[in-house]
Amino acid sequence: MADVSGTELSEEKENEIELKKRQKRPWEEFHRSGKIGITPELPETLGFFDISAVKREQQEVSADPSLTRFICTELTRGYFLEHNEAKYTERRERVYTCMRIPKELEKLMIFGFFLCADAFLYIFTLLPLRVLLALLRLLTLPCCGFSGSRLLQPAQVCDMLKGLILVLCFSMMHYVDYSMMYHLIRGQSVIKLYIIYNMLEVADRLFSSFGQDILDALYWTATEPKERKRDSIGVIPHFFMAVFYVFLHSILIMVQASTLNVAFNSHNKSLLTIMMSNNFVEIKGSVFKKFEKNNLFQMSNSDIKERFTSYVLLLIVCLRNMEQFSWNPDHLWMLFPDVFMVVMSEVAVDIIKHAFITKFNDITADVYSEYRASLAFDLVSSRQKNAYTDYSDSVARRMGFIPLPLAVLLIRVVMSSVKVQGALSYTCVFLFYLGMVTLKVLNSIVLLGKSCVYVKRANMEDKLFERPPTAPSFPAKSPSKSDPRRCTKSSDSCPSTSEPQSDTEPPTASPLQEEEADEASDMNHRAPNKDLLEIDRFTICGNRID
């Protein structure tokens, strides 16, 4: 009995000691009971657990949930945004980028607009004078004597071809009746006109893409050195192809202008509203696509060209309407609201489209300054001694803007709308021409100065002195030992042909080496990050850059 009572006393003492330990270390109860899995982490102070926090946690667990307590918790709970500082900073930068897009985009658009205007004014002002100088050189050759291997310089040959194309297409456009086309289009329904206008926009882009290739092929065929082997069908077929293209493109733009004129003169303006809403459909087709920096550059150039072309079409519409109302200035104020709506819809669509494209593709607003510098580089490089193209042709390749068809149509409309009779009228025409020449010269000076500033800011001065490639590098036509005729005498990069050619076949590469070569070539083709100046200007017009 004594032993049993002793053991009971010892067990009671052990229970008291254990209870005291639990009171001193209450967190051990959570570890043993397994409730630590559903309990949040205990706060630590200098490496030790905070006992007061544990007691508050026990009171909250033991307290019964109530609606009042839930409402109090919802009203008093807090959070700290700095716990995810990077995320919110990125969101704020996106907002700032969208706010900067209208300013940066309009800077690019205004610069590109004046570039297109400069190339367009060149057709009416300096091109006739350059053609007269080339003709004067041809007429004075028998008197001055023939020296050199060329009758005319390559630039003069291109100017003569442009002048001939302009004169021939203008004479052919006289046989196209603008009034009959207008009434033919006006007799169609609204839905038909909407479909026709969309088809004309697509056709205009296709014509611009292929038309500049036709003109470049003509210029190169006419100025190619005679000592080289020519792989062409001749200058005359290329010339007739160019005339046929410019004539068809001029008729296409005339149909566009007639459709726009019908929309302006409709009573309920329903067609004009549908045509303006078509611009907003463009947002749906471009905003939700993946765009790289080069893709956005190509789309920006296309937007500049479309905006300038729409302004010229609006000018043609105003001229035709003013002629019908005997040049009454009151009718011009009636057309002004519709013209303002069309212009503002173009600007709004471009801003919204570019803002969301840059947002979805994480492109900064500074990229538009790079685009502006690239366009400025084209202008400055065309003034260099080693220039290989005229500036108007460079603008055509960059933006897809070909001024010849638009110039033919504008001359046709002006000649039919404005009657010139008497000496005073011819004097006014001459003064107007001098004013256009002055505007062209001033515009060129300002653009050249701005372009030099943009090129210097972008650190592109060294690229101005790099010589352009003399010939395209095609693998199938590259010079090799088996074809020594491709190598010129002045070329130092051609391989030596003094070694005897072996009759045996060259050793074939192993399949592993061929596979590695194919992978390397694929990686070269897939490289998306290209310098904007490394993109071929002869293929950018109308093509999507991947």
User: Is 483 strand, coil or helix?
Assistant: strand
The residue length of the chain stands at 546
- Mean pLDDT in residue range 10-36: 58
Structural contact between residues 215 and 242, judged by C-beta atoms closer than 8 angstroms: yes
Q: pLDDT confidence of 60, banded at 50, 70, 90?
A: low
Indicate if the pLDDT at residue 330 is higher than 80: yes
**144/274: higher pLDDT:** 274
Q: pLDDT confidence of 270, banded at 50, 70, 90?
A: confident
Structural contact between residues 238 and 221, judged by C-beta atoms closer than 8 angstroms: yes
Q: Write out the two tokens for 187.
A: 């007799």
Indicate if the pLDDT at residue 86 is higher than 70: yes
Indicate if the pLDDT at residue 251 is higher than 90: yes
Indicate if the pLDDT at residue 1 is higher than 50: no
**40/13: higher pLDDT:** 13
Structural contact between residues 337 and 318, judged by C-beta atoms closer than 8 angstroms: no
The upper half-sphere exposure of residue 222, i.e. CA atoms within 13 Å in the direction of its Cβ, equals: 25
CB atoms inside a 10 Å sphere around CB 250: 23
Most confidently modeled of 6-20, 28-42, 44-58, 219-233?
219-233
Query: Does residue 68 belong to any structural domain of this protein?
Result: no
Query: Does residue 202 belong to any structural domain of this protein?
Result: yes
Average pLDDT, whole number, for the chain? 75
When mean pLDDT is compared across 254-268, 346-360, 514-528, the lowest value belongs to 514-528
Give a three-class secondary structure readout of 172-200. HHCCCCHHHHHHHHHCCCHHHHHHHHHHH
Distance (Å, rounded) from C-alpha 370 to C-alpha 372?
A: 5
Name residue 89's amino acid.
T
Share of the chain above pLDDT 90, in %: 18
Q: What is the pLDDT of residue 247?
A: 94
Query: Does residue 62 belong to any structural domain of this protein?
Result: no
Q: What is the pLDDT of residue 3?
A: 52
Q: Which domain holds residue 311?
A: 86-140+152-224+234-464
Indicate if the pLDDT at residue 183 is higher than 90: no
**207/21: higher pLDDT:** 207
Distance (Å, rounded) from C-alpha 199 to C-alpha 232?
A: 33
Structural contact between residues 406 and 253, judged by C-beta atoms closer than 8 angstroms: yes
Looking at the DSSP bridge assignments, the partners of residue 48 are 45
**51/71: higher pLDDT:** 71
Distance (Å, rounded) from C-alpha 15 to C-alpha 33?
A: 18
Q: What is the pLDDT of residues 352-398, one digit of tens each?
A: 899 888 888 888 888 999 999 989 888 888 777 666 677 777 777 77
Indicate if the pLDDT at residue 167 is higher than 90: yes
Which segments of 234-359 are extended strands (E)?
none
Distances (CA, A) of 479 to 44, 150, 173, 420, 493: 77, 28, 47, 60, 9
Distances (CA, A) of 205 to 195, 199, 345: 16, 10, 20
Structural contact between residues 325 and 261, judged by C-beta atoms closer than 8 angstroms: no
- What letters, b where the CB count within 10 A reaches 16 and e where it falls short, cover 212-249? bebbbebbebbbeeeeeeeeeeebeebbebbbebbbeb
Query: Does residue 167 belong to any structural domain of this protein?
Result: yes
Structural contact between residues 204 and 256, judged by C-beta atoms closer than 8 angstroms: yes
Q: Which residues contact 234 (CB under 8 A, 6 or more apart)?
A: 221
- Mean pLDDT in residue range 238-248: 93
Q: What is the pLDDT of residue 434?
A: 94
Q: What is the pLDDT of residue 441?
A: 93
Q: What is the pLDDT of residue 8?
A: 57
Give a three-class secondary structure readout of 14-81. HHHHHHHHHHHCCHHHHHHHCHHHCCCCCCEECCEECHHHHHHHHHHHHCCCCHHHHHHHHHHCCCCH
Indicate if the pLDDT at residue 539 is higher than 60: no
Distance (Å, rounded) from C-alpha 92 to C-alpha 76?
A: 27
Distance (Å, rounded) from C-alpha 408 to C-alpha 416?
A: 12
Structural contact between residues 146 and 159, judged by C-beta atoms closer than 8 angstroms: no
Q: pLDDT confidence of 56, banded at 50, 70, 90?
A: low
Query: Does residue 66 belong to any structural domain of this protein?
Result: no
Q: What is the pLDDT of residue 381?
A: 81
**53/238: higher pLDDT:** 238
Query: Does residue 185 belong to any structural domain of this protein?
Result: yes
Distances (CA, A) of 142 to 130, 136, 145, 151, 512: 20, 11, 5, 11, 67
Q: How many domains does the chain have?
A: 1
Query: Does residue 209 belong to any structural domain of this protein?
Result: yes
Indicate if the pLDDT at residue 286 is higher than 70: yes
Q: What is the pLDDT of residue 476?
A: 40
Q: What is the pLDDT of residues 428-475, one digit of tens each?
A: 989 999 999 999 999 999 998 998 899 888 887 767 666 655 544 444
- Computed over its alpha carbons, how large is the radius of gyration of the chain? 38
Most confidently modeled of 10-19, 35-44, 314-323, 532-541?
314-323
Residue of 65, 61, 17 whose CA lies nearest to 36: 61
**55/321: higher pLDDT:** 321
Indicate if the pLDDT at residue 24 is higher than 80: no
Distance (Å, rounded) from C-alpha 249 to C-alpha 409?
A: 9
Q: What is the pLDDT of residue 30?
A: 45
Structural contact between residues 304 and 108, judged by C-beta atoms closer than 8 angstroms: yes
Q: What is the pLDDT of residues 478-499, one digit of tens each?
A: 334 334 344 443 334 343 433 4
Query: Does residue 59 belong to any structural domain of this protein?
Result: no
Q: What is the pLDDT of residue 487?
A: 41
Indicate if the pLDDT at residue 516 is higher than 90: no
Distance (Å, rounded) from C-alpha 130 to C-alpha 163?
A: 9
